[in-house]
Amino acid sequence: MDRGTHTFDNGVRVYDDHLIPVQRERYRLRNVHEASEEDVFVALVRGLPHGARYLNVGCAIGYYPLLAKRLRPDLVVHAAEPLARHREYFLDNVRLNGFQPGAFTVHPEAVAATDGTAALLDQDYGSTLVREATPAARPGFWRRVFGARPAAAPPGTVRARTVTLDTLLAHTGTPVHLVQMDVQGFEADVLRGAAGALRAGHIGTFLIGTHGAAVHAECAALLAAAGYAIERSEPEARDQPDGILLAGRRAGAIAA
């Protein structure tokens, strides 16, 4: 049976069964994935040097990597997505848009504050890592003191491998001219795991979809302390569920 497809105004196509109702409603207002972020992203991608590296952290079904390749076929595109189902959807959409799978490098890890493993709660586009219990709240403590375990992990939770952004950049190569992320509230954790790259100037620009005013402020502070200029700061964007934080290396400095 033929599968229906959705074509965005920018030409990106995805399978309709990959979308959820709230997205379809939003696309009726403006037929792009995130109206506020779209124009920022397009301008950034068009301004990248030839053969630049672009990394999308939390790529879901691949909308932004696909758009980047449509705009700039010369870009080296990396994407990180820990949810297996979304990686499969991304590959479906790569073929749908006429690209070869080798045009994109997809990393199956969750980018986090540390290397290791973590619980990943599968909530489709809202999928998120689950913060580990503190040592005092681990099961052994509860058994000793109260004779009971803390609440079990929510249904739909799986284990995911985690890597820091520093670790991931060892595989993508440097410099990375643009890092874009949407990680459902773990944005500051990703930046904390990028201390080496920030210190060395290996990342040119960050475009971050933030989740909540506190996380937004923390990300801005971390980037400013690392020498980035905050170029756009909207904890709440009018036309999308995420905030927008845009930060670039001061004086355009980016190290190889």
**Segments making up each domain of the chain, as ranges:** 10-251
β-bridge pairing 228-234 and 243-249: antiparallel
Whether pLDDT at 30 is above 60: yes
Concatenated DSSP letters of 187-214: HHHHHHTTHHHHHHT-EEEEEEEE-SHH
Q: What percent of the chain has pLDDT over 90?
A: 78
Q: What is the pTM of this model?
A: 0.89
Alpha helices by DSSP H, listed for the chain, are 21-29, 35-46, 63-71, 84-96, 139-146, 165-172, 187-192, 195-200, 213-225
User: In whole angstroms, what separates CA 81 from the centre of its chain?
Assistant: 8
In this predicted structure, what is the pLDDT of residue 145?
42
Q: Which of 125, 9, 2, 121 is nearest to 62 (CA)?
A: 125
Whether pLDDT at 254 is above 60: yes
Contact 48, 79 (CB under 8 A): no
Cα(149)–Cα(167) distance, integer angstroms: 34
In this predicted structure, what is the pLDDT of residue 153?
59
Q: Which fold does the domain 10-251 belong to in CATH?
A: Rossmann fold (3.40.50)
Whether pLDDT at 6 is above 50: yes
Contact 172, 220 (CB under 8 A): no
In this predicted structure, what is the pLDDT of residue 219?
98
Report the pLDDT averaged over residues 141-146.
42
Instruction: Note the maximum CA span of the chain.
Output: 62
Whether pLDDT at 179 is above 50: yes
In order of 64, 93, 228, the CA distances from 60 in angstroms are 9, 11, 27
Whether pLDDT at 36 is above 50: yes
Q: Which residues pair with 243 in a beta bridge?
A: 210
In order of 114, 206, 222, 247, the CA distances from 195 in angstroms are 11, 14, 9, 15
Q: Which residue type occupies 166? A: D
β-bridge pairing 176-181 and 203-210: parallel
How many helices (DSSP H) and strands (DSSP E) are in the chain?
A: 9, 13
Contact 180, 57 (CB under 8 A): yes
Residue tagged 């190290």 (tokens)? 255
In order of 32, 54, 102, 189, the CA distances from 186 in angstroms are 24, 20, 29, 5
